């Protein structure tokens, strides 16, 4: 028991420390209030005449009575200030300031005051009053001359200097000395007296000086005498000529109360004089006595009574696990503490009572967890109501503070305390729900508490933090989701969750349409809580019921939520863009979620595409200005699914309509492309918006992807992406795919409002990949020296796919690609790549015409040689014509180079084996062609340049002559 005695003593000393800290904070707060209010009321006070210290006191004999009068005046003003608690200052400060100013001015007119250098002892003590008789005598001793011409002093300067002159280091240590001598020693003396009673019991027990009954009786008598003496001193305090006389009765009575506690505990645990119920009754009565005495002797006795009352169950334990009895006793203690604080209120007392209440509730959760559920629920609800009601909200639970700011450090106690109570009660409720394994009473308590918090938040807008607290409590059962849907409580859980989802959704939406504070939180409550409950209920319920029934129920509920939130989005289209955004996102997410749950594969893809068209049509029908990034997110989801699914999933089941079999790519890609295109046509956009064009660009991208998938299936026999790159077919198809993607991403970048950099990077990366695949087709898988089958059909073969299509894609990129996409220094290399691919395509195509699908044999026919020369010459002529028609000297020079290469080939290879008439005819024909080309070049190039030069010279001459 020594351990508990010393613990009790430590708690007692800690309470004393809190009291001293509270007094110091009160003095500091009053100083700040007076400094602020002095500037507000300075203009309303009359002008005062400054009188120097030397003129006020001509001699020491005259100064002494005047100084005493000054002390009386300051004491009177100080008593007015400290008569109201710290919490009352913000409420009644105008009236209090007027009372202070009036009282001080009246006293200043009766006597000439001398300002002290440091605050007197009486001025620093808020709870003591100076003797009335001596003060009246001193006031009456003031000469009549002083009354006829009283100097009126500065009220605020006098009050400030008298009250807070201890700010200097010298005054601070003086105040510490006074506090220690006049106040702290009183409390230390009381503690020592209580220890004397305890040590008396201990010494008598160890030495056997007298019997147990006499020991306990002597201790009880001494304790009762101390309590009685303290009360008698309190009643006679006005006859005690002592500073801090008010603390002496409380210290003496407190020592007696501690002695009584120790006597009762020693009687039971040392001598076993009575049973546990009697001990509990006696300790409760002693705590009640301390609370009653606190009505006259101050908050220290209240703290002592509360501490004793809440620690009684620690000393009284029957081991029966009677939680109902424990909570009934604690309920009475909490009610008594709330009633006591209506007379003796201190904030630290209120915090202590609340801490004792909820700590015992938390401890009771570990005692007989399967029983006493009703007692715990009733105790939690009733005591939470009491601590919310007193001292700030009132029995109607309505805060007097209308609104709050965002800086929580500046919130008053009237706002912080209810929020703290709600937070602590919410944590207790969560622990109660989890410990009782979601029983019916736990569910009822949870539902009732959530509804109550939302109603309080509606009545008091400053307590809007109760809205997210209620939302957290509503979804908290899923922390232990495994026990929610057990077979014996599954329907109770479903019903409770349904009530929570419906109330949060309906009541939150109802508050949004009303002129309430923080509409955003109510809107989030109305969408997030139902969505979270529905989603988690599906995932944890699908194993307890038939999956088909669960999915149908989920589909029905989500469709209802989708329609409701679309309607709310329609209601708020003119009031708040943020609220419209919240409800639109919630509606689309809900519908997307249920589609992903209930459908799969191609059906899901088609439904997502239909959802996009439905959203656009709803906007057009209801004239709702949708947020376009919602459409973009939905389109991106559809594109990602169609871009990845052919490579991940196997959609091998075609659609059969009688004797007609339709492959899944025809409607799996065709319908989404059509939906994207229709959405871009039907979307109502404002000027400057590019959402419709962005959707059209996505349709183009999806169309390119569709063509690539079909081409892969046609030539490669599979829809899946082959990453082995073991053939010309793989590299050619991937090269074409990356090229088309590069153009599609580039087109999307030109029409995008945001993410332009991402699209540009994607386009450049796709172009680089296309060039790498094309380079592999040229070097590694070139059909001339590798065993590759290119197909037997002219032009419709892999040669066209590998070389012609990449060449055309590069030409399109050079024509439409903006300058900031491609460095100017790289452009000649791209043109060279186009020329190289063109020559390779022409040459390999000619070889394919002569050799069929295999081009790797080393045989070259003589007709094949002439075919190469003829095609190269025609190509050079065509390039020259185009360069002349559309002036481009680079192309013209390239055509001359190709023509020169063709002539060299003709002379060195083609005509070297000819003899006789063939050689003659060949040379004549080649010469005629070269002459015609030369004439053509002279007429359309050289003569044109000469004509232009002549015109320039004539123009220059005419300019000089003028």
pLDDT of residue 962: 56
Q: Residue range 61-67: average pLDDT?
A: 38
Here the tokens at position 171 are 């005054």
**Over the chain, what is the mean pLDDT?**
72
pLDDT of residue 653: 60
Q: Residue range 6-19: average pLDDT?
A: 54
| pTM, rounded to two decimals | 0.58
For residues 37 and 156, give the distance between their C-alpha atoms in angstroms, rounded to a whole number.
9
Domain boundaries, the chain: 2-167, 179-318, 319-402+412-436
Q: Residue range 111-132: average pLDDT?
A: 37
Proportion of the chain above pLDDT 90, given as a percent = 7
pLDDT of residue 423: 92
Count Cβ neighbours within 10 Å for each residue of 611-624 and write b for 16 or more, e otherwise.
Answer: bbbebbeebeeeeb
Q: Residue range 804-829: average pLDDT?
A: 77
For residues 501 and 550, give the distance between their C-alpha atoms in angstroms, rounded to a whole number.
17
Q: Which has the higher per-residue pLDDT, 68 or 177?
A: 177
Q: Residue range 785-798: average pLDDT?
A: 81
Q: Is 151 helix (H, G, I), strand (E, B) or coil?
A: coil
Band of residue 533 on the pLDDT scale cut at 50, 70, 90: very high
The pLDDT tens digits for 939-949 are 666 556 556 66
H helix runs in 577-655, sequence order = 577-598, 601-622, 628-648
| CB burial of residue 686 (10 Å; 0-12, 13-18, 19+) | exposed
pLDDT of residue 532: 93
Here the tokens at position 529 are 């809580």
Here the tokens at position 508 are 């939150």
Residue 854 backbone dihedrals phi, psi, to 5 degrees: -115, 125
The pLDDT tens digits for 543-569 are 777 778 888 888 888 889 988 888 877
Of these ranges, 49-63, 231-245, 293-307, the one predicted with the greatest mean pLDDT is: 293-307
pLDDT of residue 555: 85
Proportion of the chain above pLDDT 70, given as a percent = 61
Band of residue 231 on the pLDDT scale cut at 50, 70, 90: confident
Handedness of CA 439, 445, 450, 451 (dihedral sign): positive
pLDDT of residue 278: 81
Q: Which has the higher per-residue pLDDT, 212 or 319?
A: 212
Whether residue 152 has pLDDT greater than 60: no
H helix runs in 169-246, sequence order = 169-179, 185-207, 212-235
Whether residue 103 has pLDDT greater than 80: no
Of these ranges, 116-125, 479-488, 746-755, the one predicted with the greatest mean pLDDT is: 479-488
Which stretch of 156-160, 488-492, 761-765 has the lowest confidence by average pLDDT? 156-160
Q: Residue range 951-962: average pLDDT?
A: 66
Which stretch of 45-54, 511-520, 677-686 has the lowest confidence by average pLDDT? 45-54
Q: Residue range 910-933: average pLDDT?
A: 62
- Residues in contact with 424: Cβ distance below 8 Å, sequence separation at least 6, in sequence order: 354, 358
| Residue 652 DSSP symbol | -
Band of residue 646 on the pLDDT scale cut at 50, 70, 90: low
Which stretch of 271-280, 295-304, 456-465, 953-962 has the lowest confidence by average pLDDT? 953-962
Question: How many other CB atoms sit within 10 Å of the CB of residue 714?
Answer: 8
- Residues in contact with 886: Cβ distance below 8 Å, sequence separation at least 6, in sequence order: none
Which stretch of 194-208, 268-282, 492-506, 780-794 has the lowest confidence by average pLDDT? 194-208
The pLDDT tens digits for 168-211 are 444 555 555 455 444 555 556 556 665 665 566 566 656 666 56
- Residues in contact with 72: Cβ distance below 8 Å, sequence separation at least 6, in sequence order: 107, 130, 135, 138, 139
Q: Is 780 helix (H, G, I), strand (E, B) or coil?
A: coil
pLDDT of residue 44: 52
For residues 171 and 117, give the distance between their C-alpha atoms in angstroms, rounded to a whole number.
10
Q: Residue range 735-740: average pLDDT?
A: 84
Q: Residue range 812-820: average pLDDT?
A: 72
Which stretch of 129-133, 298-302, 493-497 has the lowest confidence by average pLDDT? 129-133
pLDDT of residue 57: 39
Which stretch of 141-145, 869-873, 919-923, 932-936 has the lowest confidence by average pLDDT? 141-145
pLDDT of residue 70: 39
Band of residue 75 on the pLDDT scale cut at 50, 70, 90: very low
Q: Which has the higher per-residue pLDDT, 298 or 245?
A: 298
C-alpha triplet 13, 181, 75: angle, nearest 5°:
105
Band of residue 486 on the pLDDT scale cut at 50, 70, 90: confident
The pLDDT tens digits for 399-449 are 877 767 777 777 787 788 888 999 999 999 988 888 777 788 889 999 999
- Residues in contact with 247: Cβ distance below 8 Å, sequence separation at least 6, in sequence order: 127, 183, 186, 187, 298
pLDDT of residue 650: 58
Band of residue 468 on the pLDDT scale cut at 50, 70, 90: very high
Here the tokens at position 307 are 């501490």
For residues 80 and 653, give the distance between their C-alpha atoms in angstroms, rounded to a whole number.
91
Question: How many other CB atoms sit within 10 Å of the CB of residue 941?
Answer: 16
Whether residue 36 has pLDDT greater than 50: yes
| CB burial of residue 659 (10 Å; 0-12, 13-18, 19+) | exposed
Whether residue 852 has pLDDT greater than 70: yes
654, 664 Cβ separation under 8 angstroms: yes
């Amino acid at each position: 028991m020594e351990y508990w005695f010393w613990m009790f003593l430590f708690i007692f000393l800690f309470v004393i420390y809190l009291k001293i800290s509270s007094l110091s904070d009160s003095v500091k707060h009053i100083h700040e209030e007076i400094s602020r209010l002095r500037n507000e009321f300075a203009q309303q006070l009359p002008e005062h005449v400054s009188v120097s210290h030397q003129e006020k006191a001509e001699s020491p004999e005259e100064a002494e009575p005047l100084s005493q009068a000054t002390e009386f005046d300051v004491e009177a003003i100080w008593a007015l200030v400290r008569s109201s608690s710290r919490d009352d200052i913000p409420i009644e400060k105008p009236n209090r300031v007027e009372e202070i100013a009036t009282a001080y001015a009246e006293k200043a007119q009766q006597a000439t005051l001398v300002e002290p250098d440091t605050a007197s002892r009486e001025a620093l003590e808020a709870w003591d009053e100076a003797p009335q008789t001596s003060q009246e005598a001193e006031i009456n001793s003031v000469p009549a001359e002083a009354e006829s011409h009283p100097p009126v002093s500065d009220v605020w300067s006098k009050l400030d200097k008298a009250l807070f002159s201890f700010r200097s280091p010298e005054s601070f240590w003086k105040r510490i000395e006074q506090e220690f001598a006049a106040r702290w020693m009183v409390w230390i003396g009381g503690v020592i007296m209580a220890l004397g009673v305890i040590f008396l019991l201990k010494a008598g027990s160890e030495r056997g000086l007298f019997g147990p009954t006499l020991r306990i009786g002597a201790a009880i008598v001494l304790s009762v005498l101390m309590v009685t003496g303290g009360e008698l001193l309190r009643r006679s305090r006005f006859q005690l000529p002592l500073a801090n006389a008010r603390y002496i009765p409380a210290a003496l009575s407190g020592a007696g109360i501690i002695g009584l506690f120790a006597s009762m505990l020693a009687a039971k645990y040392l001598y076993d004089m009575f049973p546990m119920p009697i001990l509990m009754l006696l300790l409760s009565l002693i705590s009640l006595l301390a609370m009653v005495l606190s009505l006259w002797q101050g908050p220290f006795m209240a703290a002592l009574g509360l501490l004793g009352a809440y620690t009684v169950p620690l000393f009284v334990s029957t081991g029966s696990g009677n939680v109902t009895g424990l909570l009934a006793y604690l309920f009475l203690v909490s009610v008594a503490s709330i009633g006591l604080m209506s007379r003796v209120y201190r904030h630290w007392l209120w915090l202590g009572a609340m801490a004792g209440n909820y700590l015992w509730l938390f401890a009771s959760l570990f005692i007989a967890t399967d029983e006493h559920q009703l007692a715990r629920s009733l105790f939690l609800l009733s005591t939470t109501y009491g601590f919310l009601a007193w001292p700030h909200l009132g029995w109607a639970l309505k805060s007097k503070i209308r609104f709050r700011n965002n800086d929580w450090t500046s919130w008053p106690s009237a706002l912080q305390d209810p929020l703290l109570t709600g937070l602590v009660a919410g944590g207790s409720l969560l622990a109660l729900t989890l410990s009782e394994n979601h029983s019916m009473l736990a569910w009822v308590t949870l539902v009732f508490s959530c509804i109550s918090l939302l109603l309080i938040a509606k009545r008091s807008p400053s307590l809007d933090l109760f809205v997210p607290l209620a939302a957290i409590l509503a979804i908290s059962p899923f922390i232990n989701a495994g026990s929610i849907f057990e077979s014996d409580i599954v329907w109770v859980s479903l019903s409770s969750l349904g009530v929570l989802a419906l109330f949060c959704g309906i009541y939150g939406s109802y508050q949004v349409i009303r002129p309430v504070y923080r509409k955003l939180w109510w809107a989030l409550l109305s969408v997030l809580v139902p969505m979270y409950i529905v989603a988690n209920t599906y995932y944890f319920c699908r194993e307890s019921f038939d999956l088909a029934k669960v999915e149908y129920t989920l589909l029905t509920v989500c469709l209802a939520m989708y329609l409701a939130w679309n309607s709310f989005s329609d209601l708020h289209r003119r009031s708040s863009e943020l609220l419209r955004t919240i409800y639109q996102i919630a509606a689309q997410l809900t519908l997307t979620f249920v589609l992903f749950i209930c459908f799969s594969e191609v059906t899901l893809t088609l439904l997502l595409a239909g959802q996009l068209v439905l959203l656009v049509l709803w906007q057009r029908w209801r004239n709702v200005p949708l947020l376009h990034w919602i459409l973009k997110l939905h389109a991106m989801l559809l594109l990602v699914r169609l871009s990845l699914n052919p490579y991940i999933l196997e959609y091998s089941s075609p659609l059969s309509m009688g004797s007609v079999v339709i492959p899944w790519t025809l409607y799996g890609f065709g319908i989404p492309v059509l939906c994207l295109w229709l959405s871009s046509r039907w979307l109502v956009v404002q000027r400057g918006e590019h959402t419709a064009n962005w959707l059209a660009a996505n349709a183009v991208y999806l169309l390119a992807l569709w063509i690539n998938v079909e081409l892969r299936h046609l030539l490669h026999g599979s829809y899946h992406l082959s990453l082995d790159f073991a053939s010309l077919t793989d590299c050619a198809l991937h090269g074409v795919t990356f090229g088309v993607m590069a153009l599609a991403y580039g087109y999307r970048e030109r029409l995008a409002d945001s993410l332009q950099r991402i699209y540009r990077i994607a386009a450049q990366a796709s172009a680089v990949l296309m060039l790498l695949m094309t380079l592999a087709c040229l070097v590694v898988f070139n059909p001339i020296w590798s065993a590759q089958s290119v197909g037997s059909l002219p032009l419709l073969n892999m040669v066209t796919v590998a070389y012609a299509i990449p060449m055309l894609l590069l030409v399109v990129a050079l024509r439409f690609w903006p300058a900031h996409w491609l460095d100017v220094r790289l452009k000649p290399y791209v043109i060279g790549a186009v020329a190289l691919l063109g020559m390779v395509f022409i040459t390999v195509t000619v070889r394919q015409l002569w050799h069929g699908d295999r081009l790797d044999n080393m045989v070259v026919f003589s007709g094949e040689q002439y075919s190469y020369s003829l095609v190269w010459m025609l190509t050079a002529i065509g390039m020259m014509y185009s360069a002349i028609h559309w002036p481009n000297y680079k192309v013209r020079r390239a055509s001359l180079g190709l023509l020169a290469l063709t002539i060299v080939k003709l002379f060195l290879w083609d005509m070297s084996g000819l003899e006789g008439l063939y050689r003659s005819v060949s040379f004549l024909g080649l010469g005629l062609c070269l002459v015609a080309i030369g004439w053509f070049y002279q007429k359309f190039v050289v003569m044109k340049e000469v004509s232009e030069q002549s015109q320039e010279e004539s123009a220059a001459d005419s300019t000089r002559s003028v």
